[in-house]
């Protein structure tokens, strides 16, 4: 199977069977954004424990790329510290700008989205979930500063 076909399969699998797609009652972090160009909508919920993303889930609707990216994100950042999640978000953005070579270990299925780089109008779809995550993380940072 050509690599590009394999990537498509992985994206479709996440779209059809999204991981961690549910509400997360009592989540400390919740953030929602949309991509009006495509009609995508994503909400990310996360539980924080000791500065880590102890639980993470998403809700949303939209195209296969936006929803698959959100599903992959929840798998990639679960259990990570806020800094690690922030770092992965930066590297993911770098990959979508064609500047960063993804490492399989931290990217996991996210590697499949690199095929989207060739379709500039879809890059926003792939990055939407990460915009939501980074806004949620920024909120967590401010809350932590306020409590110290
Ligand atoms: Zn989209």
Query: Which is more confidently placed, 142 or 1?
Result: 142
Number of domains in the chain: 1
With residue 29 as reference, give the H or E element that holds it: strand 29-35
DSSP one-letter string for 35-59? ETTTTEEEEEEEEEETTEEEEEEEE
Q: What is the distance in A from the centroid of ligand 1 to the CA of 117?
A: 13
- CATH assignment at residue 46: 3.90.1010.10
pLDDT tens digits, one per residue of 34-89: 999 999 999 999 999 999 999 999 999 999 999 999 999 999 999 999 999 999 99
> In this structure, is residue 59 part of a structural domain?
yes
pLDDT tens digits, one per residue of 101-135: 998 888 999 999 999 999 999 999 999 999 999 99
> In this structure, is residue 147 part of a structural domain?
no
> In this structure, is residue 77 part of a structural domain?
yes
- Residue 93: CA count within 13 A, CB half-sphere: 13
pLDDT at res. 148: 62
> In this structure, is residue 148 part of a structural domain?
no
Model-wide pTM > 0.85 = yes
As a whole number of angstroms, the distance between CA 137 and CA 8 comes to 29
> In this structure, is residue 120 part of a structural domain?
yes
Q: What is the distance in A from the centroid of ligand 1 to the CA of 34?
A: 9
Q: What is the distance in A from the centroid of ligand 1 to the CA of 40?
A: 5
Q: What is the distance in A from the centroid of ligand 1 to the CA of 137?
A: 23
Domain range for residue 96? 3-142
């Amino acid at each position: 199977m050509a690599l590009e076909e394999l990537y498509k399969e992985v994206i479709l699998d996440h779209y059809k069977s999204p991981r961690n797609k549910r509400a997360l009652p009592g989540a400390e972090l919740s953030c929602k954004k949309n991509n009006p160009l495509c009609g995508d909508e994503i909400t990310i919920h996360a539980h924080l424990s000791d500065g880590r993303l102890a639980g993470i889930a998403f809700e949303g609707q939209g195209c296969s790329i936006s929803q698959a990216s959100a599903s992959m994100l929840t798998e990639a950042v679960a259990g990570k510290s806020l800094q690690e999640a922030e770092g992965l978000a930066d590297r993911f953005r770098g990959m979508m700008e064609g500047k960063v070579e993804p490492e399989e270990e931290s990217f996991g299925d996210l590697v499949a989205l690199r095929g989207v780089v060739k379709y500039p109008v879809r890059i926003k779809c792939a990055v939407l979930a990460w915009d939501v995550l980074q806004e949620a993380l920024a909120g967590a940072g401010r809350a932590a500063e306020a409590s110290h």
